[in-house]
Structure 1
Amino acid sequence: MRKSSKVTHKLLTLASVALFAFVASVSGCGDDENRNDGCDPTKGDRCSCDIANAASCPGGFLCRPSGDGNVCEPEGTAGRIPSCLDPKGLDVFAAEADGALSVSWKVNGMIDSSGGFEVRYGPGPATLDQKITVGPEARRATLAPLDNGKGTFVVVAPLGANGMSSFVSCQVAGIPHVLAFGGDVIVNAAMDGDQADPDLASNITGTRLYLAMEDGAAVTLSISSDFGDTWPTAARVTMSGQNPAIVVRNAVVDEAGMLVLPEVLFLTWEEGGNVLFAAFDPAAGTFSTPVTIGKGTNPDIALGIDGIHVAFVDGTTIQQAASTDGGKTFGAPVAVSGSLNNSKAPSVGVHPTTGDVLVAWDALEGGGDSNIYSAASTDGGKTFGAPVRIDDDMQGQNQLNVSVAVDPQTGEYFATWEDRRGGANVFFATSKDGGMTWSPNIDVGAGLGGDQFHPQAVVDVAGNVYVAFFDTTDGQRTVFSRFNEDGTFDPPLAPSTVAGKEGVVGDYPSVATDVFGTVYVAWEENRGGPDLEVFFARAD
């Protein structure tokens, strides 16, 4: 989500509340004498491995997929949620959702599932004594409530028209445990002056976290390869720019495990009244030559099956431009906002399977208050339909600063925004029909006594929706909450250990997740003095 001009707030104190997730239930690894390539993960080396051979990693390490192949990682790192990947069959993911086990899957290649999918589960790897069947279009199932501390093991079998399965997926398992934020770390420790406006992204496994931010008048990028425990000095993207937005294209491998497309980070920002774009190659550590997309400000970026989509403000209208060649060129910007006045702060999302594009923004309708709108494209961003209003405020109050997130399995859209009805609040709505209609609005901060601002939303592979926002209830701080299918939000967590105390302000959050369900949050904070700094925390 891109932000409007900043407002200075004064701050207060923190809450400590728990969510739930899973730790992986996996067998131990072999020892390092099985390796003969000289690579030693116990010394910090990034070592390749064979997922099918536990002995390819030393004791205390597991072989897990990453953005650049399978690597040995410390067992239990970040409380990983289990998953298994099969390029010839089904990728399967397990996560906690609303106190039950949620299993989702991705179909790879041509698989006969005309009879639906059978999800088999039970208390042990060989004791899958329960099952449910879902339709051929389903990609997720919610199983029985979890028994705290006991593992649940799951496989998924596609069914043919005769109701028989030709194969069974790889197996996933999970043990519920408390998910909570640990200590926070400063991202920009070696940098002077103000660092602000963070935008955070994770590759699919969390083995590479990217954080773009403003450094004075410049845009910089920092990368963590240890799940955010440490952040090397940021690299300068441009000497003069602001409002960076980023998205990761994950690595793609073929059925033989050979790399087809490498991991790449795509960045956009505003500079000198124009919207620019560049790609970052993490393997080489280099940026591509910046490309000018068009005249404008406040860009946001999303990645779809057909390419890269950037939405931005041009004067008083919202524009969208797309690239189908990895960002080497962009098509001419396309108007999104129609005749709405004073449109600003766009957020863009892309359906994971159709490539349909949805842009949301706030705008004045006539001479009245500002409202939240969306417009959808079913042709890859070439044209957009008429704007649809998302907020259902009938009091004539202002709504602004919307953030859009997309379920990576179902394509359901989620929107969250600042809402001034009844004070300063954060509201939320969903759309299951591609943005044609939106659900009744929900107050994310219901029960909080203060004001809420600057929300950002993200969805993990299990369909859990997380919203981070600024709250003044117990001091001015960044907080974080999860949406439940019953239409409520969990009590908020506070990732910062200091913001909200003694005048320390924590604001402008950015949130990301990985395939294991770990949640990452970054925000700006004035801890230790008047200068703004960027902090990071991980919810394990």
Structure 2
Amino acid sequence: MRTFATKYLLALCVALAGATTFPVWAEESEQDAAAAQTDNATIDQTKGIDQSVDYASLRHFGPWDDRNYELTAADIALLPKDDEYRRGIPAFFKIERRKEGIAEGFPIGEHYPRELDKDFLIRYGGLLQDGVLHRRGLGIYYHPDPANPPPPVIYTSDPIVQAMPFSVPVNGETAMAIGDNETSIKYNPVNPSVVIAGSNGPGGQSQNYSVDGGVTWFSAGVLPSTCCDPAMEWSADGTVAYAATLPSSGGLRAGLFRSTNGGQSWGSVILVSTGGSDKEWIHVDKSPSSPYLENVYLTWHQGNVMFFSRSTDKGVTWSTPISFSSAARGIGSDITTDAAGNIYYIWPSSQAATANIYMVKSTDGGLTFGAPVIVQPLFDVFDFPIPSMESRRAFIYIAADTDRSGGPNDGRIYAAYTALHPSSGGTTATNHAWIQVAYSDDGGATWALTTTPHSEADIATIDRYHPWLEVDTQGAVHIGFYDTRNSTNRTGVDFYYNYSVDGGTTWLDETRVSAATSVNITNGQEWGDYNGIAAGPTEAIMSWTDNRVVGGSPLQKSYVGRVQNMAASPTFLMSGSPLNQSVCAPTATPVALTPVGINIGAVSGYNTPVNLGFGPGLPAGFTGFFSVTPVIPPGSSQADLTVNNVAAPGLNALTLRGSSGGIDKDLALNVTVATALPGASNLTAPANNAVNVSATPTFTWTASAQSASYLIE
């Protein structure tokens, strides 16, 4: 089979002699001409994944289809020059069928199967031209939604390697509603339909939210008196969203804002650091087995000295900041936690004398940390120039996460970063950027490198940098990064994606997510310092700074792209609302709570019935039932509960549990109960009738049992 593929590759080389792009064919049959008259699609050469291909020339093989943009010269080499013309069949599908035949051991020769057209319509619905799916025949019945065309499945160029897709389906990309550069993005851990994203903007940190999994975006405005460096996060129960940033308060400080309505609006600023700060990042411990579940951790640097603070009340109050050894100075850090709640705080050195990546570990929820451990040595520190980042320079940053899947690599810690390749020459033109991923299987004591998550053979001609990494609930490692392969002289970028299901031992071939190449701009930001990625149960969503040409000029915008999570296993999702309630129950007569709507979603076609219940049981004074149980995904139910004065006054934590096929998913329902009228409260300071009191006094008073709030008049 290798000989078969090589035969066509040699034929292509002869045809390409003296040419720089794949040629437009001189010969054109009458069928070609007739097809061209009905094929009015616009072909944008810049969208092609391989700029050595003349994509317009692919009309020689069949009518245009936008999925042809994913073809490379090696793919097209499989098509004979005098390939049989089949009406309505585009080049990408012919190549897909030829690769399938080779992989199955029965290569297609001169003639295609007679039912090739029906096979195409069943798989893809019809021709996709200018982004519009033109369904016909069987395609109308197999693909009823023309707004969501099925993605192509193109097989690896060398059929000997493997008969599997070389790229994952790209489900779409779009600009955020507001924002320019340096982006961060996060799914709600309980309801992945809700997504938040932050970005630098001209007036401060811009906030965005989505309620359909990132397909459409809405603006939540600009956080007041802020600068930049957005970092998004959620509480483990999905009730609180966090937007870490650098507020301006007599200089830049590390701080954050909180949202309790899915990122649609944000509360007041909470300052954490007390000195000039930079490059803050935020992390929440979401492991149910952790004794520090819901702890919030914030990192930043002051004068290159790394700082840390924690919150144990969902970001409302914060501990006194602590700092780490000034000998291991750095800029740009990340934190990850394992199932036991151990904290791994990782950053790259900013000093040439200590050119390493460092990690400190805490086993007590951030009260104390051990001595710094070297993760990996660096060939350079802080940043370095390359043709696409010659002025701002490619930033050496860390993106860390931990496998908490319970699978074969459970507990493995990952740290991805941009590195200067050892073959670099020290100048913009001779430097080369690549991405490294380090890992540890012994709690951070020792570290090694995974295989490189992109090709290494083309280091001299392609730069990859600014990665972000996340591990999904199945243990798959997802990574997104900039890639210069589609630009001239390494000056522009596209955003690419890759993933590994074996802990980084092997990676799938890179997938282009951005639909257009961004050109180099010199606005001081270029592409900022970092990007974002979040791995959900059905899709991986990523965000990046985009400088594509719009209306003849480059326009900087924050973009979001979505790809199918091919590593996801079938399971169900469970969400509910409202999950925070207050009720007065002063007598033995039961008082009804607001009904809790329960939604059960399906991942990868999961349809095993889900039994609903209260685990491990209801607290004293509570009774409840579900309107429907079991629920066959996708479906819905309602939790109806009552409470009386037998309940413990104050906060009662209830658990709504869904169980199916050995899988349990819990929702935390927090009910604050008052069983009696609150008593009197007395002012303690300032005293009544006091004089010479500040215009902004601090009031204190004696607490009143079972009070929910106080009104000062």
Normalising by the smaller structure, the TM-score range is: 0.5 to 0.7
2:175 paired residue number: 186
More deviation, 434-443/464-473: 434-443
Q: Secondary structure at the match of 2:414?
A: strand
**Structure 1 residues 532 and 307: CA distance shift in structure 2, 3 A:** same
2:299 to 311, 314, 320: 311
The CA distance in 1 between the partners of 2:264 and 2:474, in whole Å, is 32
Q: CA deviation at 1:416?
A: 0.7
The CA distance in 2 between the partners of 1:480 and 1:246, in whole Å, is 20
2:512 to 494, 506, 512: 494
Q: Does 1:288 align with 2:264?
A: no
2:543 paired residue number: 522
1:418 paired residue number: 418
**Structure 1 residues 233 and 283: CA distance shift in structure 2, 3 A:** closer
The CA distance in 1 between the partners of 2:348 and 2:414, in whole Å, is 15
| 1:434-449 matches, cutoff 5 A | 434-440=443-449, 442-445=451-454, 446-448=456-458, 449=461
More deviation, 403-412/206-215: 403-412
2:315 paired residue number: 327
The CA distance in 2 between the partners of 1:441 and 1:306, in whole Å, is 30
Instruction: Give deviations 1:459-510, integer Å, cap 9, x for gaps.
Output: 1111110111112122222211113426132211111000257989877431
Q: CA deviation at 1:285?
A: 4.2
Instruction: Give deviations 1:229-277, integer Å, cap 9, x for gaps.
Output: 21123322224321010111243xxxxxxxxxx6210121112320112
Q: CA deviation at 1:341?
A: 4.6
Q: Does 1:477 align with 2:494?
A: yes
The CA distance in 2 between the partners of 1:275 and 1:324, in whole Å, is 17
Q: CA deviation at 1:331?
A: 0.2
The CA distance in 1 between the partners of 2:218 and 2:263, in whole Å, is 16
Structural RMSD (CA): 3.3
Instruction: Give deviations 1:359-418, integer Å, cap 9, x for gaps.
Output: 1111146x536321111111111111111111245x677782111112233332101111
CA contact (8 A) 2:350 2:381 kept: no
| 1:17-416 matches, cutoff 5 A | 179-188=168-177, 191=178, 195-204=180-189, 205-251=191-237, 263-272=239-248, 273-282=252-261, 285-294=264-273, 295=275, 296-304=277-285, 305-336=293-324, 338-351=325-338, 353-364=339-350, 367-368=352-353, 370-392=355-377, 400-409=396-405, 410-416=410-416
The CA distance in 1 between the partners of 2:221 and 2:365, in whole Å, is 33
**Structure 1 residues 460 and 473: CA distance shift in structure 2, 3 A:** same
1:460 to 472, 476, 485: 472
CA contact (8 A) 1:429 1:442 kept: no
Q: Secondary structure at the match of 1:238?
A: coil
Q: CA deviation at 1:224?
A: 0.7
The CA distance in 2 between the partners of 1:319 and 1:78, in whole Å, is 48
AA of the residue aligned to 2:496? V
The CA distance in 1 between the partners of 2:267 and 2:521, in whole Å, is 41
2:63 paired residue number: none
- Give the aligned length: 362
AA of the residue aligned to 2:223? V
**Structure 1 residues 520 and 284: CA distance shift in structure 2, 3 A:** closer
CA contact (8 A) 1:312 1:346 kept: yes
TM-score normalized by the length of structure 1:
0.61
**Structure 1 residues 207 and 398: CA distance shift in structure 2, 3 A:** closer
The CA distance in 1 between the partners of 2:48 and 2:527, in whole Å, is 10
Instruction: Give deviations 1:127-173, integer Å, cap 9, x for gaps.
Output: xxxxxxxxxxxxxxxxxxxx99xxxxxxxxxxxxxxxxxxxxxxxxx
The CA distance in 2 between the partners of 1:322 and 1:383, in whole Å, is 11
Q: Higher helix proportion, which one? A: 2
Q: CA deviation at 1:322?
A: 0.2
The CA distance in 2 between the partners of 1:228 and 1:397, in whole Å, is 35
The CA distance in 1 between the partners of 2:166 and 2:195, in whole Å, is 24
**Structure 1 residues 278 and 17: CA distance shift in structure 2, 3 A:** farther
More deviation, 233-242/278-287: 278-287
Q: Secondary structure at the match of 2:245?
A: strand
**Structure 1 residues 397 and 327: CA distance shift in structure 2, 3 A:** closer
Q: Secondary structure at the match of 1:368?
A: helix
Unaligned runs of 5+ in 2: 1-45, 51-69, 73-144, 151-162, 286-292, 384-395, 424-431, 488-492, 565-713
AA of the residue aligned to 2:414? F
CA contact (8 A) 2:167 2:510 kept: no
CA contact (8 A) 1:306 1:380 kept: no
TM-score normalized by the length of structure 2:
0.47
The CA distance in 2 between the partners of 1:355 and 1:78, in whole Å, is 43
**Structure 1 residues 225 and 376: CA distance shift in structure 2, 3 A:** same
Q: CA deviation at 1:425?
A: 1.0
Identity, in percent, stands at 19
AA of the residue aligned to 2:255? L
Q: Which protein, 1 or 2, shows the higher relative CO under an 8 Å CA cutoff with sep ≥ 6?
A: 1
The CA distance in 2 between the partners of 1:370 and 1:512, in whole Å, is 29
Q: Does 1:14 align with 2:69?
A: no
The CA distance in 2 between the partners of 1:17 and 1:363, in whole Å, is 41
Q: Higher strand proportion, which one? A: 1
CA contact (8 A) 1:306 1:355 kept: no
1:538 paired residue number: 562
AA of the residue aligned to 1:521? M
CA contact (8 A) 2:209 2:264 kept: no
Instruction: Give deviations 1:45-68, integer Å, cap 9, x for gaps.
Output: xxxxxxxxxxxxxxxxxxxxxxxx
